[in-house]
Structure 1
Amino acid sequence: MTDLSHQPISVVVVDDHAIFRSGLRADLDTRLHVVAEADSVETAIEAITREQPAVVLLDVHLPGGNGGGGAEVLAGCAALLGKTRFLALSVSDAAEDVVTVIRAGARGYVTKTISGAEISDAVVRVAGGDAVFSPRLAGFVLDAFGTASVASVDDELDRLSARELEVMRLIARGYSYKEVARELFISVKTVETHVSSVLRKLQLSSRHELTRWAADRRLL
């Protein structure tokens, strides 16, 4: 039997500068394996959807799409957020950039001033479920969300399975049961079962309450 515990962590690198991508790829250590690269919103969504890596190293400012950059990539890959984790990697240390991608679903944010060894460690930690930030950036997140609210949202989301999380996001965005079924390649009956389970676990009574719950927590 193959020992999967020593398999390298699959990574997709998203940055619009080819020289930076090649340098980063060379600096990452052997615990990580780059399975694809992308240089725009569209190519990033395509590569991430195709590869479904453990971690995406995601630049914040990217060409293409509707101008939303890394946050737009996260929105386009919302269905994968239960299994693929995103670590923002940018030259920007602006509070607005940090808060925007974290609200969109990134698990951390580091600046490009850190070393290859530090980036490798950050990817491993994010793959393991940690939230990772360059020291001065963590304060932006705490100011925007508050430590208690971040812990509360994480605890609530941890109650949901990966499939329930996918269904929850689509229902909260206004998809009908049929549209969710078509999007996730499951039956309408299965969608109904997942919705009932989500409502029960989150102690909500209707899809309208679910939409409000998700909007209040910046999960849409």
Structure 2
Amino acid sequence: MSLRVLVVDDHPLYRDGLVTAIAAMPEIEVIGDAADGAAAVRAAKDLAPDVVVMDLHMPELNGIEATRQIVAERPATAVLVLTMLDGDDSVFAAMRAGARGYLLKGADRAEIRRALEAVAHGEVVFSSGIASRVLSFFAAGSAKSALSPFPSLTEREREILDLVARGLTNAAIAQRLVLSSKTVRNHVSNVFTKLQVAGRAEAVAQARDAGLGAP
């Protein structure tokens, strides 16, 4: 029986090339493709793929949230992330959302094929560079921080992100933490950079997805 694959990426040329490459693999069938996270969730529900190849940075609904919804609705479907994003935050956010694999877009056809088959059989797969970083977290005894939200943030930055997610303004955060407004602005700017977000609303969305910002 062929492995049924859904391909999700917002770049038409890359998506078309990926569809062609995967469809040419023996015993693998591409049953559909989608250009954004919302379309991916609908397609996964309608087509029941064995594996979803998922980009992360997409319009309407990002790949992290799409992964979370697909896994919640279809636990039997494996999500294999294929992205240009190699930061620790992206990796651990994807795995917390339920992805079973994480490859970078430099992966060749053989690596993608092995990953598709592996995640379909319940294994977890990482690109080599990412795998070594994940293992180093555990080898260094940092498993707790690796599994906590946003491991690249400092404790102070995570604290400030939590307050941002609760709806506090910079001025209110400065007053609560007894910091200068300039210091808070600098911390918020650093948080946005590390989370690779364009503004406050996107940062709040990511923080709440990760469980921050609770009353």
Same fold (TM over 0.5): yes
For 1:44, the aligned partner's letter is A
Within 2, Cα distance between the matches of 1:52 and 1:144? Answer: 35
Residue 13 in structure 1 maps to residue 10 in structure 2: no
Cα pair 1:99 1:140 within 8 Å, conserved: no
Within 1, Cα distance between the matches of 2:132 and 2:56? Answer: 18
> Deviation string for 1:153-173 (max 9, x for gaps)?
xxxxxxxxxxxxxxxxxxxxx
For 2:32, the aligned partner's letter is A
Within 1, Cα distance between the matches of 2:85 and 2:72? Answer: 27
Residue 99 in structure 1 maps to residue 92 in structure 2: yes
Cα pair 2:101 2:126 within 8 Å, conserved: yes
For 1:126, the aligned partner's letter is V
Partner of 2:134: helix, strand, or coil?
Answer: helix
Report how many residues are paired: 143
Cα pair 1:98 1:140 within 8 Å, conserved: no
> Deviation string for 1:58-84 (max 9, x for gaps)?
00111103xxx1111022223345200
Partner of 1:49: helix, strand, or coil?
Answer: helix
For 1:60, the aligned partner's letter is L
> Deviation string for 1:116-147 (max 9, x for gaps)?
22211110111111111001112443456779
Within 1, Cα distance between the matches of 2:86 and 2:123? Answer: 20
Greater Cα radius of gyration, structure 1 or 2:
2
> Deviation string for 1:15-68 (max 9, x for gaps)?
001111111122121221111100112111100111111000000111103xxx
Q: Which moved more, 1:78-87 or 1:97-106?
A: 78-87
Partner of 2:119: helix, strand, or coil?
Answer: helix
Cα pair 2:50 2:120 within 8 Å, conserved: yes
In structure 2, the residue matched to 1:48 is 44
- CA pair 82-19 structure 1, distance change in 2 beyond 3 A: same
Partner of 1:37: helix, strand, or coil?
Answer: strand
Structure 1 unaligned spans of 5+ = 1-6, 151-214
Within 1, Cα distance between the matches of 2:106 and 2:88? Answer: 17
Identity %: 35
Within 2, Cα distance between the matches of 1:70 and 1:43? Answer: 11
TM-score, normalization by structure 2: 0.60
Within 1, Cα distance between the matches of 2:84 and 2:29? Answer: 23
In structure 1, the residue matched to 2:104 is 111
Cα pair 1:9 1:32 within 8 Å, conserved: yes
For 2:18, the aligned partner's letter is L
In structure 1, the residue matched to 2:124 is 131
Cα pair 2:71 2:78 within 8 Å, conserved: no
Answer 1 or 2: higher relative contact order, Cα 8 Å, separation at least 6: 1
In structure 2, the residue matched to 1:35 is 31
Within 2, Cα distance between the matches of 1:141 and 1:51? Answer: 33
